[in-house]
């Protein structure tokens, strides 16, 4: 009987990471999670790790700064999935080195869960995020490591709860007024995080995704901001007052506002103005 690959998730206690761990287990893969011991001091993290254990996940303690712990963990599995955050993107070089040293990994999925960094134009400062991920791609290719890059585009849980308003006082989509960037017609791809995790795990043993970019682009998930507003208006039975925020003004604010607001706005420009 065909045996499913053993999967190690690095960054498994993060937003997407925990869903990758759960999707791996639910798909019948022997699943391992590399966890920092320091994270156990946080009740939420500790409870999450305990829930992993109940699912049958093999918990391994280590961190990217401890190279030997990474090598040791990688030697136990067939596939490595990294879901580390932006602050640790360059630290994935250590994962690449560890994979080379271990010599047993059939596939590496780096933390590439975003729009395709090789095909998307982003203005500064958001460009630095994409540049970092592109450099990791090139390092993987240079070392001839078997890989899959997952281009899942936008996380629904990040953009939809406030309908892309990024107003700190909002906890749900607006019911009176809404700001639309540009003309609102640029198309974006918005995916539920659970679906991103599910498609990633399905790609693990799929030979057609080897050394390729996997695009998670369900046709019904390709929408403009105008489309999103219309869907919301239909749901609540009310027409919102719309303010269109010109692209030129958005670019001006990106240059003038401090970090991290300008970085967020540069992503909004790339997605909802450029498309």
Is 263 in the same domain as 172? yes
Instruction: Specify the CATH number for the domain of residue 175.
Output: 3.90.25.10
pLDDT tens digit sequence for 75-114: 999 999 999 998 999 999 999 999 999 999 999 999 999 9
Mean predicted lDDT score pLDDT of the chain: 95
8 CB neighbour count, 10 Å cutoff: 27
Residue 177 lies in a domain: yes
pLDDT at 64 over 60: yes
pTM (global) more than 0.85: yes
Tell me 102's DSSP state.
H
Is 139 in the same domain as 233? no
pLDDT tens digit sequence for 132-175: 999 999 999 999 999 999 999 999 999 999 999 977 688 899 99
pLDDT on residue 221:
97
* Residue finishing a domain among 219, 236, 261: 219
Instruction: Specify the CATH number for the domain of residue 41.
Output: 3.40.50.720
What contacts 258, CB < 8 A, 6 or more positions away?
Answer: none
Is 80 in the same domain as 166? no
Reported confidence tier of residue 214, pLDDT bands at 50, 70, 90? very high
Q: Which percentage of the chain shows pLDDT scores above 70? A: 99
Is 80 in the same domain as 37? yes
pLDDT on residue 2:
65
The total number of structural domains in the chain stands at 2
Is 178 in the same domain as 229? yes
pLDDT on residue 230:
98
Angle, to 10 degrees, between the axis of helix 193-203 and the axis of helix 17-26?
50
pLDDT on residue 39:
86
What's the whole-number mean pLDDT along residues 183-208? 98
Is 182 in the same domain as 239? yes
Using an 8 Å Cβ cutoff, are 16 and 83 in contact?
A: yes
Least confident of 15-24, 164-173, 239-248: 164-173
Is 100 in the same domain as 212? yes
Closest CA to 204 of 148, 153, 151, 152: 148
Is 149 in the same domain as 167? no
**DSSP H helices in 125-237:** 127-142, 156-159, 193-203, 225-236
Cα–Cα distance measured from residue 228 to residue 184, given in angstroms and rounded to the nearest whole number: 10
pLDDT at 1 over 60: no
Q: Which percentage of the chain shows pLDDT scores above 90? A: 92
| Phi and psi, residue 8, nearest 5° | -110, 125
- Name the residues annotated as catalytic: 133
pLDDT at 240 over 70: yes
What's the whole-number mean pLDDT along residues 36-46? 92
Is 161 in the same domain as 35? no
Q: Which domain holds residue 116?
A: 7-155+191-219
pLDDT on residue 234:
98
């Amino acid at each position: 009987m065909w045996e499913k690959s053993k999967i190690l998730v690095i960054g498994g206690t993060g937003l997407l990471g925990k869903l990758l761990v759960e999707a791996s287990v639910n798909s019948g893969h022997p699943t391992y999670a590399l966890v920092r011991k320091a994270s156990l001091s946080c009740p939420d993290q500790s409870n999450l790790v305990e829930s992993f254990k109940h699912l049958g996940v093999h918990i391994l303690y280590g961190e990217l700064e401890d190279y030997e712990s990474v090598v040791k963990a990688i030697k136990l599995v067939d596939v490595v999935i990294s879901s580390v955050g932006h602050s640790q993107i360059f630290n994935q070089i250590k994962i690449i080195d560890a994979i080379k040293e271990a010599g047993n990994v059939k596939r590496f999925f780096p933390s590439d869960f975003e729009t395709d960094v090789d095909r998307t134009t982003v203005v500064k400062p958001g460009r630095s995020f994409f540049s970092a991920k592109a450099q990791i791609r090139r390092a993987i290719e240079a070392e001839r490591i078997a890989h899959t890059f997952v281009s899942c585009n936008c996380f629904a849980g990040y953009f939809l709860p406030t309908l892309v308003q990024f107003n700190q006082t909002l906890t749900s989509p607006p019911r009176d007024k809404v700001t639309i960037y540009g003309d609102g017609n640029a198309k974006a791809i918005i995916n539920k995080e659970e679906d991103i995790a599910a498609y990633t795990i399905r790609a693990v043993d799929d030979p057609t995704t080897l050394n390729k970019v996997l695009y998670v682009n369900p046709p019904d998930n390709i929408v403009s901001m105008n489309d999103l507003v219309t869907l919301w208006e239909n749901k609540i039975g009310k027409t919102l007052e719309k303010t269109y925020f010109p692209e030129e003004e958005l670019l001006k604010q990106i240059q003038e506002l401090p970090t991290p607001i300008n970085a967020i706005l540069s992503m909004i420009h790339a997605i909802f103005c450029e498309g």
